[in-house]
Amino acid sequence: MQSPLPLNPALEKLSVYQPGRPIEEVARELGLPADDIIKLASNENPLGPSPAALAAMEKALQQLHLYPDGNAFYLKQKLSDKLGVEPGNLILGNGSNEIIEFIGHALVAPGTDVIVSQYCFLVYPIITRLFGGNLITVPAKDYGHDLRAMLRAITPQTRVVFVANPNNPTGTLADRADVVELLNELPPHVLLVMDEAYIEFLNAPVDLLPFVRRGLKPNLLLMRTFSKIYGLAGLRLGYGIAAAELVAALEKVRQPFNINSLVQAGATAALDDDEHINRTRANNAQGLDFLQTEFARMRLSFIPSVANFVLVKVGDGQRVFTELQKQGVITRPMRAYQLPEFIRISVGTPAENARCITALKTILKS
């Protein structure tokens, strides 16, 4: 039934973001024991959260009757030390999604253009349309960003260019020279948002932090997250790194206390847990190699990935996704990304990866 309220007209055609299905939901729906289900759908850390983070959060439980530090002083200080930037260069969000929303508040309005790549993270189009912006989608190149074409698409009305590097959902990496060219040629009235949610999985990433440290690019914002390599997806913490002037503007649209006490304690401790990060990287490298090797043996096309997931072409992606669920393996169908023949599989533990491949072989044979 249509609401009688005069809702924002942008909502009428706005898509609802559908995340990877939770284990508990699939268990209820299919009548399966939750303990027998594995989730390889949302690019989470299969090793779980940092033990140091868990210990810090347990200690913080004793202070939950108090409001959190609204400015997250200690977390920002630890982040600034680790990244070599000033605390004033950091903006914290309830997941990177909230940082994207801050950008919408600050820069996107009717009559403005936002440029994205085909097969981009779905939240970029959602936020653009929510604020009435005009979405310009540039065709992908080999399932990844065509940065030169994106540069050519910029007009006087363009306000934001979103680039996820590595890209979600395709796992592709933009060429280093193309990234540098885009940054150097970008007009000053356009904000380049480099979404680096998976940067910690790269051996030799393009390091754009010096541009922020030296104040060289006031129209650059880097986004990172604690949801992936740090294993804290359930806490919801993302952060932006940018010029202090831009951060100050974004702070005006940030809700007070958006980062709660447990998040601040857990994330601050996780930053020091190098052992957990190294184990995660090693598990991911082994898992990616295993999955992609098995796909090749099964003669399945896949998009080579540098992140912690891989897209594999299985024919009817929705059917395979559904059948995998019946076997207790949750993956991600790609129909919403205009890739209906693909599913996305996150890297799990060795046992989870093997179970997924066994189930996939059974389904494809049938």
Token reading at 11: 């909502």
Q: What is the pLDDT of residue 10?
A: 83
Query: CA of 244: how far to CAs of 90, 105, 221, in Å?
Result: 8, 17, 11
Average pLDDT over residues 138-157: 97
- At 5, the pLDDT band (50, 70, 90 cuts) reads confident
pLDDT at 3 over 90: no
pLDDT above 90: percentage of residues in the chain: 94
pLDDT at 268 over 80: yes
User: Which residues, 6+ apart, have CB-to-CB distance to 86 below 8 Å?
Assistant: 80, 244
pLDDT at 85 over 90: yes
Calpha distance 106→151 (Å, rounded): 22
Average pLDDT over residues 58-80: 96
Q: What is the pLDDT of residue 275?
A: 97
Give me the residues paired with residue 92 across strands. Answer: 239
What integer best gives the mean pLDDT of the chain?
A: 96
Q: What is the pLDDT of residue 66?
A: 96
Name the phi and psi angles at 177, rounded to 5: -65, -35
Calpha distance 104→279 (Å, rounded): 36
Token reading at 281: 């990287």
pLDDT at 79 over 80: yes
Q: What is the pLDDT of residue 1?
A: 65
At 193-223, the pLDDT tens digits run 999 999 999 999 999 999 999 999 999 999 9
At 299-342, the pLDDT tens digits run 999 999 999 999 999 999 999 999 999 999 999 999 999 999 99
Calpha distance 362→120 (Å, rounded): 31
pLDDT above 70: percentage of residues in the chain: 100
Calpha distance 225→45 (Å, rounded): 12
Q: What is the pLDDT of residue 229?
A: 96
At 287-306, the pLDDT tens digits run 999 999 999 999 999 999 99
Maximum Cα interatomic distance, the chain, rounded to a whole number of Å: 58
At 100-126, the pLDDT tens digits run 999 999 999 999 999 999 999 999 999
CB 310 within 8 A of CB 344: yes
